[in-house]
Structure 1
Amino acid sequence: MTIPLLAIAAWSGTGKTTLLEKVIPLLKAQGIRPGLIKHTHHNMDVDTPGKDSFLLRKAGADQVIVASNQRWALMCETPDKPLTLHQMAARMDSSSLDLVLVEGFKDEPVAKIVLWRTGVKGNITDLLDDYVIAVASDVEVALPVAALDINQPQQVANFIAEWCFSQKNP
């Protein structure tokens, strides 16, 4: 069985990370083991220049695992064909997760909660597609999906927990 994916989609500056920082511990308190895939538009590197792993990756290793007793990270070079969201999720350990939260990837065909705040660029309708299951906002929105209060992380976490349960027990 594949791990359920749930995207948290919004315009930059809406508070995706801030909300997830509050929601993730609330999900864990309910016994849900979440993973996370974060999208960035920036050229990023999790490795530290000058360290052995960085030097060996730059020497040509296409995949490098850096490991300690506390954590490990796999770095893969993908200059020719970046992975899709589903390929990334498939690399996560499904035996230790109940759900993969996805920050960003607003155009991907996966279930998503759209975040909307007044005063942030763009229009809410530009974020809506057939995969939106809820909108979390700081104002009331009249849409044919669940309406959540973006300022109530417990409400958002409860909705996600119920959704997660429904995916595992259809």
Structure 2
Amino acid sequence: MRIYGVVGWKNAGKTGLMERLVAEITGRGFSVSTVKHAHHTFDVDQPGKDSYRHRDAGAREVLLASRTRWALMHEMRNDEEPTLEALLTKLAPVDLVLVEGYKRDAHPKVEAHRSVTGNPLIAPEDPTVRAIAADVAVDSDRPVFDLNDTVSIADFVLKEVGL
């Protein structure tokens, strides 16, 4: 499976870049799935809804299905976070999986960087960061793209993964 990541510190523009890359790459006819790492507890449904009530009652997995989509929720009752590798096995085959977060994993990545955050670049300390997408000029030994130049970033990612 071809995977490519988007990493960066909080408010660096990761989600916006992911959204634009998915639209650009699927617009070129490729199938894309995404994996997003969350650092906190989250819910995909609301208290009081049937699926929430099933999970709250102790169900290990709840599959919610309709005519337009389905979602499988799996409760980690042992409080151990699954690895990216394990999660990727849950996805149906696609041309490319874009991963937001998981900055410490070994897959290739582009770093999103916005100067307003005041955070340092991840790239100098991480050889898996293959390019930087920034809203300011950046001095780097890797390719640097304008954070909003989605077409060029998509071209780079697709070339990197052989698509």
Q: What TM-score does the superposition give when structure 1 sets the normalisation length?
A: 0.87
Deviations 1:132-152 (A, max 9, x none): 111111233232222222121
What are structure 1's unaligned runs of at least 5 residues? none
Equivalence for 2:81: 82
- The yes-or-no answer on 1:148 pairing with 2:145 is yes
Equivalence for 1:91: 90
Taking the aligned partners of 1:44 and 1:121, their CA distance within structure 2 comes to: 27
Equivalence for 2:26: 28
What are structure 2's unaligned runs of at least 5 residues? none
Taking the aligned partners of 2:29 and 2:125, their CA distance within structure 1 comes to: 30
Deviations 1:34-74 (A, max 9, x none): 11111122210112211221111211210111011111111
Taking the aligned partners of 2:43 and 2:118, their CA distance within structure 1 comes to: 28
Alpha-carbon spacing, 1:43–1:120, altered in 2? closer, same or farther (3 Å): same
Taking the aligned partners of 2:59 and 2:31, their CA distance within structure 1 comes to: 32
Quote the offset at 1:4 in angstroms.
Answer: 1.7
Aligned length: 162
Q: What TM-score does the superposition give when structure 2 sets the normalisation length?
A: 0.90
Letter in 1 for 2:16: T
Taking the aligned partners of 1:136 and 1:86, their CA distance within structure 2 comes to: 25
Equivalence for 2:157: 160
Alpha-carbon spacing, 1:16–1:130, altered in 2? closer, same or farther (3 Å): same
Alpha-carbon spacing, 1:63–1:98, altered in 2? closer, same or farther (3 Å): same
What SS does structure 2 have at the residue aligned with 1:124? coil
The alignment's C-alpha RMSD in Å is 1.7
Letter in 1 for 2:50: D
Letter in 1 for 2:128: Y
Taking the aligned partners of 2:70 and 2:99, their CA distance within structure 1 comes to: 20
Taking the aligned partners of 2:125 and 2:27, their CA distance within structure 1 comes to: 30
Equivalence for 2:67: 69
Taking the aligned partners of 1:15 and 1:112, their CA distance within structure 2 comes to: 14
Quote the offset at 1:127 in angstroms.
Answer: 6.7
Letter in 2 for 1:28: T
Kept in 1: contact 2:7–2:111 (CA 8 A): yes
Alpha-carbon spacing, 1:127–1:58, altered in 2? closer, same or farther (3 Å): farther
Quote the offset at 1:125 in angstroms.
Answer: 4.4
Deviates more, 1:149-158 or 1:122-131: 122-131
Kept in 2: contact 1:118–1:139 (CA 8 A): yes
